Structure 1
Amino acid sequence: MNPFSRNKKNSGGGGSITPARKSPPFERGGCCRGFPDCLVIGSIISYGKTRTNQPPSTSKFDLKVEELEKEVQKQRELKTVYKARLARAQEYMKYYLQVAKENGFLQLILPATGSSIKHEDVVDNHDQNHNIIVNRQTETVIYRDLESVIRLAKANGWHIDPSEIELHSKVARGSTSDIYKGTWRGIEVAVKWINSDFFYSNEELEDGIGFFAQEVEILSRQRHQNVLQLMGACLDPPNHAWIVTDFLPMALQEWLHGLDDDRSRKSKKKERTSPLPPLHERLVKALEISKAMQYLHGQKPVKVIHRDLKPSNIFLDHGMHVRVADFGHARFLGDNEKALTGETGTYVYMAPEVIKCEPYDEKCDVYSFGIILNELVTGQHPYIETDYSPSKIALQVSEGTLRPTLPENEDQELIELIRMSWDNASTKRPAFSTITITLTTIIEKQMVTK
């Protein structure tokens, strides 16, 4: 009812005008329109009828307060993580500056003006044949031009023109790319389309092209039954930066946890929608992952470290065999060389030294595998027994005070392998060659006891 409307009341042929009764704020809505839980501040005015002063429902306020409290707690945890990280960075900086001073090259790393990269900051990579340089300050692999990769692709028959590919439905979305199901020369393929924004979000377009070219070249080198096979690539960034591979419809994550509908994917507890696969099959998957990683780490003259090993980046082919995929975070690493890029990967599977921005090597992949192996054996998501945020998990993992719950009543050799793989000290983690042998022995022993 409009409080400013007029009502005509006829009496004895005459007319009188009386104002319409005004609705109080909590009846007509006012600035609280659409918010049934809105609190009315001040005294309640009588308008000719009795109104019971009932307390408004606070359910929405309670939920909002709970959300804000969680956000505040999350920010506190992040503050703690970043504060600890800053302290470590300062310690490393002091140490490196002291070493530089003692060896007489302090002036080379502390230029008098500006912070631009000097010629000395850029040195040739171990693999000279692939025309790449490595920026030691940013650890960015930069291709002098994309022509060398294009020539490599054309010479080996995996250069693809975008017009040859027919894109169908989008099947997955990532932070920097989308995955499409497509057809190429009559073959069903997966097309990883790197978003054009990725190239412009880097400091320079050339850096984005360098990252893309590195992923393509790493994948082009792989020849292993448990590593995703490159079929070709469209090398025309930023609009046609496409990586074409076999189409593998199922990830290890779906196979293990049975998450095949949106409701289950979004559920906090991630309810299972299908039975847990037999332990023997799960251990075989772990063995195949280990073989793939042993192959990657054993490459010469430079090994490949994945840096983002997790169930959603591991796929199953039509024969239900493992294919390690997604080399967007992978990089080449020479013997006795350490990487310095921190926070590469996913917190839940990230090694402590990576979280702490410390130098790391291929053993960061072994840590990730340890978390995956435990997940395969237990059938449970890591840290599902807690309600910790990713930042809190990262903080406690880096301090060595948190790991996922170990399986019960399982082979002690298997449990010990998990413990060794996720040891806080990277030097104590076994190589994948050792893991492969150990898992093979465990699987054979289980088959004998059946």
Structure 2
Amino acid sequence: MDSRTKEEVGEEVMEGKKSGNLDGSANSKVRGVGGISSKDMIFRADKIDLKSLDVQLEKHLSRVWSRKVEQQRPKEEWEIDLSKLDLRNEVAHGTYGIVYRGTYDNQDVAVKLLDWGEDGLATVAETAAIRASFQQEVTVWQKLDHPNVTKFIGASMGTSNLKLPSKAPADEPSTLTSKACCVVVEFLPGGTLKQFLIRNRRKKLALKVVVQLALDLSRGLSYLHSKKIVHRDVKSENMLLDAQRNLKIADFGVARVEAQNPRDMTGETGTLGYMAPEVLEGKPYNRRCDVYSFGICLWEIYCCDMPYPDLSFADVSSAVVRQNLRPNIPRCCPNSLANIMRKCWDGHPEKRPEMSEVVTMLEAIDTSKGGGMIPDDQAPGGCFCFAPVRGP
């Protein structure tokens, strides 16, 4: 560049704009509004937002890459025809995605959407991890067939042409990015087990209902374990109920095939309050971590309450590992049920029963005489083991 300053160049540019002639020639105007050819325009380098250009370029390259990948890769056997999928309304919003109710080929379905977007915030590694997690969930779920496991219908690795329902009548349906994915499963109208327990927090459940829900959950987990699958996030929020109150296990986002060597399965995976001590400590673990979580769920089902309602997550983690903290079992709880809870949440994984053994123990409980939280000689109103009423 010559000895002229940026200010002098800028003044010349402004003079050129006023006269409509940037290069001194009479032919600098072209057709169109403003009439200035892009090749004749002068930009100040210090006024260009390079960061914004980088983001825009990244978005463009990402879209091109996604389209090329989708066009080149072969279709999986579980991939659905998006033209048959119709989303109606949002039913849940979680950490890893949004769940919609809809129809697929005239069947009521629930659709779990994962959309990590193209906003430039997620790194390549983060995007790859989420996509791998999605593929893992689909791989696990598509092979399962059991009455106590939510039925998998199909999935899609690219849903950019899927229209989302608008939140307001006047709104236009929004669209997804090219990296979005979805899992389609049967729709269960009973909601989550946690929602059901909250609705019954004050009146509690009859013993036969408690045992039936526990049996459904234990049978589903026993089936998963027979297939060498560890759920790793067993909790009441991940269990769904159908119209007849049959329980089905859902959400396989962190499920994985059990490793032959327990040392290959480490890391804090799950939800605090349900996580086994060995998981909390980051030690090697196996399917017995699901057994521990089942014990906590069994307590929840019986009590219709939350474990550790007055403790922070940090306090729970520390106390479970160092002080062998467990939920308080009410005095009215039948010994047959209380013993199963204690065996399942034993601090030593090797002392916990297999889920198939838990099924056998639950099947042996006689529920014909009632008992538990709702004694035979009382109207359904719950016992007084908990005072004051706790929970959400």
TM-score (norm 1): 0.59
**Aligned pair partner of 2:247 in 322, 341, 345:** 322
Please say if residues 183 and 189 of structure 1, whose CA atoms lie closer than 8 Å, have aligned partners that are also in contact. yes
Residue 446 (structure 1) aligns with: 367
**Aligned pair partner of 1:363 in 288, 291, 311:** 288
Which protein has the bigger strand share? 1
Matched, 1:253 2:194: yes
Secondary structure at 2:101's aligned position in 1? strand
Q: Where do 1:247-326 residues align within 5 Å?
A: 247-249=187-189, 250-258=191-199, 272=201, 275-299=203-227, 303-326=228-251
Deviation at 1:204, TM superposition (A): 5.1
Equivalent residue letter for 2:132: G
Equivalent residue letter for 1:440: E
Please say if residues 117 and 180 of structure 2, whose CA atoms lie closer than 8 Å, have aligned partners that are also in contact. no
For residues 271-293 of structure 1, the C-alpha deviation after alignment (integer angstroms, 9 at most, x for no partner) is x4x73231211111001100000
Secondary structure at 1:346's aligned position in 2? coil
Q: Where do 1:223-262 residues align within 5 Å?
A: 223-236=145-158, 239-249=179-189, 250-258=191-199
Residue 422 (structure 1) aligns with: 345
Secondary structure at 2:150's aligned position in 1? coil
Secondary structure at 2:317's aligned position in 1? helix
Deviation at 1:202, TM superposition (A): 6.4
Residue 172 (structure 1) aligns with: 92
For residues 379-423 of structure 1, the C-alpha deviation after alignment (integer angstroms, 9 at most, x for no partner) is 221113xx2111111111121431111121332222111111001
Please say if residues 177 and 193 of structure 1, whose CA atoms lie closer than 8 Å, have aligned partners that are also in contact. yes
Deviation at 1:341, TM superposition (A): 3.5
> Aligned equivalents of 2:72 and 2:318: distance in 1?
42
Secondary structure at 1:209's aligned position in 2? helix
For structure 1, which runs of at least 5 residues remain unmatched after alignment? 1-144, 260-271
Residue 210 (structure 1) aligns with: 132
**Aligned pair partner of 1:350 in 250, 260, 275:** 275
**Aligned pair partner of 1:402 in 308, 311, 325:** 325
CA 1:313–1:438 in 2, change beyond 3 Å: closer, same or farther? same
CA 1:185–1:286 in 2, change beyond 3 Å: closer, same or farther? same
Residue 115 (structure 2) aligns with: 195
> Aligned equivalents of 1:176 and 1:447: distance in 2?
42
Deviation at 1:163, TM superposition (A): 3.0
> Aligned equivalents of 1:254 and 1:201: distance in 2?
36
Deviation at 1:446, TM superposition (A): 2.6
> Aligned equivalents of 1:253 and 1:204: distance in 2?
30
CA 1:390–1:230 in 2, change beyond 3 Å: closer, same or farther? same
> Aligned equivalents of 2:265 and 2:183: distance in 1?
27
Secondary structure at 1:446's aligned position in 2? coil
Deviation at 1:314, TM superposition (A): 0.1
Segment drifting more, 396-405 vs 194-203: 194-203
Which protein has the bigger helix share? 1
Secondary structure at 2:157's aligned position in 1? strand
Q: Where do 1:85-234 residues align within 5 Å?
A: 151-153=75-77, 158-197=78-117, 200=122, 203=125, 205-234=127-156
Equivalent residue letter for 1:245: V
Secondary structure at 1:183's aligned position in 2? strand
> Aligned equivalents of 2:352 and 2:123: distance in 1?
36
Secondary structure at 1:166's aligned position in 2? strand
Secondary structure at 1:282's aligned position in 2? helix
Deviation at 1:152, TM superposition (A): 4.1
For residues 116-162 of structure 1, the C-alpha deviation after alignment (integer angstroms, 9 at most, x for no partner) is xxxxxxxxxxxxxxxxxxxxxxxxxxxxx999996442xxxx42133
Please say if residues 364 and 426 of structure 1, whose CA atoms lie closer than 8 Å, have aligned partners that are also in contact. yes
> Aligned equivalents of 2:313 and 2:283: distance in 1?
19
Please say if residues 206 and 370 of structure 2, whose CA atoms lie closer than 8 Å, have aligned partners that are also in contact. no
CA 1:146–1:357 in 2, change beyond 3 Å: closer, same or farther? farther
Quote the sequence identity (%): 34
Q: Which structure would you say has the larger RCO, counting Cα contacts within 8 Å and 6 or more residues apart?
A: 2
- What is the Cα-based RMSD across aligned positions, in Å? 2.5
CA 1:341–1:201 in 2, change beyond 3 Å: closer, same or farther? farther
Please say if residues 150 and 235 of structure 1, whose CA atoms lie closer than 8 Å, have aligned partners that are also in contact. no
CA 1:381–1:449 in 2, change beyond 3 Å: closer, same or farther? closer
Please say if residues 294 and 432 of structure 1, whose CA atoms lie closer than 8 Å, have aligned partners that are also in contact. yes
Secondary structure at 1:395's aligned position in 2? helix
Aligned length: 282
Equivalent residue letter for 1:239: K
Secondary structure at 1:347's aligned position in 2? coil
Secondary structure at 2:328's aligned position in 1? coil
Residue 59 (structure 2) aligns with: none
Deviation at 1:448, TM superposition (A): 6.1
Secondary structure at 2:302's aligned position in 1? helix
TM-score (norm 2): 0.67
Secondary structure at 1:414's aligned position in 2? helix
> Aligned equivalents of 2:130 and 2:263: distance in 1?
23
Please say if residues 150 and 159 of structure 1, whose CA atoms lie closer than 8 Å, have aligned partners that are also in contact. no
Matched, 1:376 2:324: no
Equivalent residue letter for 1:174: G
> Aligned equivalents of 2:184 and 2:90: distance in 1?
14
Residue 123 (structure 1) aligns with: none
CA 1:449–1:314 in 2, change beyond 3 Å: closer, same or farther? closer
Please say if residues 208 and 370 of structure 2, whose CA atoms lie closer than 8 Å, have aligned partners that are also in contact. no
